[in-house]
């Protein structure tokens, strides 16, 4: 089958991979849509992330597609079913898995992580248990967007957001925008968003932000104080992944508030912990999502959350390198870039 293979930093080759064959319990899916994630871009720009070095990997972990073949012992799905694909296969027997936190399973096999090929290809063989049937009202791109939305839902759940809370979000990429919508659904009454790209702030405003600010043009902390009459916010979500953004996030909660660190940032960052201690601020971290796919699907199906309008660019599989470069450079007012292999 055809696949887009990352050979090194910013080096995507359109080549071949062996056709996958479903084993018992697996389903062969023809990939129809794959979103480009911020974590994909970290690896694309640098050829790795943290201590992970990549030089021969198919990226992509936000796929949806159509069932083409059934392995033995598949019980519920049938050929022709349209599905979203959850990217992680968890061991099921470690302490995190057994206590409801499979997202931190140390033995997870995750699409496009470590040596596991991802979804920028024509076909995937995945366990039936990791597939979610799409209702007729959702298309493949909305199915692919369930992965970032699940992260947003998990972030809001982790924050223990309460009815009437005020929220600030740093970063208006796809994760920040899904957090914005999930927070509104959970009962936030005021939501403020900061980014350095005006076109993304325009999308945030359209999707329900009460006020937005470009951090290159304003002092975000002073602006937030002005908007909130000095109180600041109950829940702060860092979704930009920039070192200075983490420090800023810890300065933005009201007394007793909560910060949720969602963005990816390799290495160490400096945090104003005395500010956190004096204000008894809770600092929480997040990895991927846990048990949020079904909720994400229902929120989109019900019309309460709009993921479709976040997709700004679409490319065929043969132009995955161009798609990655558009996304990595934030060119052409890109918000969410989608690859459509078939």
Its pTM surpasses 0.85: yes
Mean pLDDT of 6-28: 96
266: pLDDT strictly greater than 90: no
d(CA 342, CA 340): 6
Q: How far is CA 320 from CA 110, 264, 316, 324, 334, in A?
A: 20, 22, 7, 6, 15
Break the chain into its structural domains and give their ranges. Answer: 2-145+307-340, 151-285
Would the pLDDT of 286 be above 90? yes
Across 222-245, average pLDDT:
96
Assess whether pLDDT exceeds 80 at residue 49: no
H or E segment and range at residue 66 = strand 63-70
- pLDDT score for 106: 94
Given CATH 3.40.50.1010, say whether it is the number of domain 151-285: no
Least confident interval from 111-115, 119-123, 138-142, 190-194: 111-115
Do 2-145+307-340 and 151-285 show the same overall fold?
no
Is the CB of residue 3 less than 8 Å from the CB of residue 58?
yes
Q: Where are the alpha helices (DSSP H) in the chain?
A: 38-46, 95-98, 140-144, 146-159, 174-186, 198-206, 220-227, 243-250, 273-278, 293-301, 320-328
d(CA 168, CA 260): 11
Q: Which two tokens stand for residue 238?
A: 């860092």
> CA geometry: angle at 289 spanning 179 and 125, to 5°?
125
| CATH H superfamily, domain 2-145+307-340 | Medium-chain alcohol dehydrogenases, catalytic domain (3.90.180.10)
Q: What percentage of the chain carries pLDDT values higher than 90?
A: 92
Name the pLDDT band for 51 (thresholds 50, 70, 90): low
Q: Which residues contact 337 (CB under 8 A, 6 or more apart)?
A: 35, 36, 311, 312, 313, 314, 315, 323, 324, 326, 327
- For residue 23, the 8-state DSSP code is -
Which of helix, strand or coil describes residue 78? coil
Please answer whether residues 36 and 313 qualify as being in contact, where contact means their C-beta atoms are separated by less than 8 angstroms: no
**DSSP-assigned states of every residue in 141-195:** HHHHTHHHHHHHHHHHHHHT--TT-EEEEE--SHHHHHHHHHHHHHT-SEEEEEE
Residues 6 or more apart from 56 whose CB is under 8 A from it?
Answer: 5, 6, 7
Residues 195-233: b if buried by 16+ CB within 10 A, e if exposed: bbbeebbebbeebbbbbbbebeeeebeebbeebbeeebb
In the numeric block, which tokens belong to residue 221?
A: 């902390």
**pLDDT digit string, tens, across residues 57-106:** 999 999 999 999 999 999 999 999 999 999 999 999 999 999 999 999 99
**What is the predicted pLDDT for the residue at 260?**
98
Look-up: residue for tokens 């359109």?
14
pLDDT of 55: 81
Residue 125's nearest CA partner among 92, 97, 149, 89 is 89
pLDDT number for residue 72: 96
For the beta carbon of residue 165, count every other beta carbon within 10 angstroms: 21
Q: Which H/E stretch holds residue 57? A: strand 57-58
167-203 pLDDT, tens digit per residue, is 999 999 999 999 999 999 999 999 999 999 999 999 9
257-281: average pLDDT: 90
Please write the tens of the pLDDT for every residue from 80-90: 999 999 999 99
Q: What distance in Å separates the CA atoms of residue 273 and residue 279, rounded to the nearest whole number?
A: 10
CA–CA separation, 277 vs 263, rounded Å? Answer: 22
């Amino acid at each position: 089958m055809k696949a887009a293979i990352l050979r090194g930093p910013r080096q995507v080759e359109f080549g071949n991979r062996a056709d996958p064959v479903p084993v018992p319990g697996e389903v062969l899916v023809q990939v129809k849509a794959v979103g480009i994630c911020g974590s994909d871009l970290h690896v694309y720009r640098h050829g790795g992330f943290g201590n992970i070095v990549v030089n021969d990997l198919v990226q992509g972990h936000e796929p949806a597609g159509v069932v083409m073949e059934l392995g033995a012992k598949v019980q519920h799905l049938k050929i022709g079913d349209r599905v979203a694909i959850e990217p992680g296969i968890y061991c099921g027997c470690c302490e995190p898995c057994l206590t409801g936190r499979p997202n931190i399973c140390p033995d997870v096999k995750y699409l496009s992580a470590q040596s596991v090929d991802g979804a920028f290809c024509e076909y995937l063989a995945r366990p039936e248990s990791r597939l979610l049937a799409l209702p007729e009202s959702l298309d493949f791109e909305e199915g692919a967007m369930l992965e970032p939305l699940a992260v947003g839902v998990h972030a809001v759940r982790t924050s223990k957001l309460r009815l009437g809370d005020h929220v600030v979000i740093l970063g208006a990429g796809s994760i920040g925008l899904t957090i914005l919508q999930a927070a509104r659904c959970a009962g936030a009454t005021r939501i403020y968003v900061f980014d350095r790209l005006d076109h993304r702030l325009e999308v945030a405003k359209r999707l329900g932000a009460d006020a937005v600010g470009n951090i290159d043009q304003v002092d975000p902390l002073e602006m937030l104080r002005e908007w909130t009459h000095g109180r600041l916010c109950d829940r702060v979500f860092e979704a930009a992944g920039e070192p200075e953004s983490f420090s800023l996030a810890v300065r933005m909660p009201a007394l007793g508030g909560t910060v949720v660190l969602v963005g990816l940032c390799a290495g160490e960052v400096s945090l104003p912990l005395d500010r956190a201690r004096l204000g008894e601020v809770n600092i929480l971290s997040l990895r991927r999502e846990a048990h949020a796919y079904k909720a994400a699907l229902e929120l989109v199906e019900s019309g309460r959350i709009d993921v479709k309008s976040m997709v700004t660019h679409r490319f065929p599989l043969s132009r995955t390198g161009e798609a990655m470069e558009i996304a990595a450079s934030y060119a052409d007012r890109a918000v969410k870039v989608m690859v459509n292999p078939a």
